[in-house]
Amino acid sequence: MSEVTSKVDSRSWYLVYCKPRQETVARENLARQGYETYLPFMRDARRRQGRRTTVIAPMFPRYLFIHLSSQTDNWGPIRSTLGVVSIVRFGREAARVPDGLMSALRSREDAQGVQILPVEEYKPGSRVRITQGSFAGYEGIFQAASGRDRVTVLLDILGRDARTTVDSASIEPA
């Protein structure tokens, strides 16, 4: 085994704890210093001014993965890097991330580097809450997916069952 191969093989993934909403700042500054980092992103549905929008946000807020060797890399500058609070530790040992987790995360990315998360499937009969629209706040029973972006929900309105079709993004588990 060559010296270069053993150097690469001795590297492991660790966690860096970042300042609030400064994961990208920490990633850029660590990269400038020559460290290999990984910051997984995901699409997240959020409410803004009463409307639901999709934003791309870090999958693990305030955490960043860093690839280091305990023998050859200098860990000292990491703590003082802009955006970084510390390296995550359990006692005196730095928290090592399993290689299987890293490969699983990287395998679930799309072409833009955003994680492809499984879509939450609702089963007929499960209770849901409508989050927007004229029925916002009502709870009902999921009936079926009725098209690509629409679902049918059974609501109890004034003591009578009423079936309504709403946007699939406007329901959540009750």
- The pLDDT assigned to 115 comes to 85
- The pLDDT assigned to 28 comes to 97
Residue in 52, 54, 60, 77 with CA at minimum distance from that of residue 21: 60
pLDDT at 162 over 60: yes
Residue in 14, 12, 11, 24 with CA at minimum distance from that of residue 84: 24
pLDDT at 107 over 60: yes
Mean pLDDT for the stretch of residues 153-168:
84
Architecture of domain 127-173: Roll (2.30)
Binned at pLDDT 50, 70 and 90, residue 1 comes out as: very low
Tell me the pTM.
Answer: 0.65
| DSSP for 61-78, written as a single string | TTEEEEEEETTTS--HHH
Range of lowest pLDDT (54-58, 114-118, 145-149): 145-149
- The pLDDT assigned to 20 comes to 96
- The pLDDT assigned to 135 comes to 85
3-115 and 127-173 agree in CATH topology? no
pLDDT in tens, 3-62: 444 444 589 999 999 999 999 999 999 999 999 999 999 887 676 776 767 888 999 999
DSSP state of 89: E
Q: Is 3-115 CATH 3.40.190.10?
A: no
For residues 34 and 30, give the distance between their C-alpha atoms in angstroms, rounded to a whole number: 7
- The pLDDT assigned to 111 comes to 84
Q: Which of 3-12, 20-29, 68-77, 144-153 has maximum average pLDDT? A: 20-29
What's the whole-number average pLDDT of the chain? Answer: 85
- The pLDDT assigned to 52 comes to 67
* Residue spans per domain, the chain: 3-115, 127-173
| DSSP for 27-88, written as a single string | HHHHHHTT-EEE--EEEEEEEETTEEEEEEEESSTTEEEEEEETTTS--HHHHTSTTEEEE-
User: HEC string of 131-152?
Assistant: CCCCCCCCEEEEEEECCCCEEE
